[in-house]
Each structure stands twice: as structure tokens, then as C-alpha cells.
Amino acid sequence: MTVVSCPTCGKKVEWKPENKFRPFCSERCKQIDLGAWAEEKYTIPGAPPGDADDESISKE
């Protein structure tokens, strides 16, 4: 059996089909994480808009 840590609170969670909130330990932790995404507390790294790649396209 695989055991993971809840991304929100760190509680150990069994990774099994019966756990409908996995990888979270509860609905509460799942909602906290969703709220963090909605408030843009998490970001995906990437180049800022207007990077050098955009300039090469406009010169063609």
C-alpha cells in the first residue's frame, strides 16, 4: 500500500480507490488547495509575456 503526505496539512494518506480525496486527507484540505489556486498563490514558471521569442515572430 502506498502512503503519501497530504499536500495541505502533511497528514499521512493511504493512496487507494476508497479515498475519494486523495492525495488530500479530507474535503477541507482539498478546498483549501483549490482556494489557493483561485487566489493565484500557485504559479507555473514560464517566460514573461513579450519575451525575445515574441520579437522574432513580429520581425518576419
User: 9 labelled as ligand-binding?
Assistant: yes
Distance CA(27)–CA(30), nearest Å, equals: 5
29 among the known binding-site residues? yes
Does 6 count as an annotated binding residue? yes
Q: What is the 3 state secondary structure string of 30-48? A: HHHHHHHHHCCCCCCCCCC
Binding residue positions for Zn(2+)? 6, 9, 25, 29
Binding residue positions? 6, 9, 25, 29
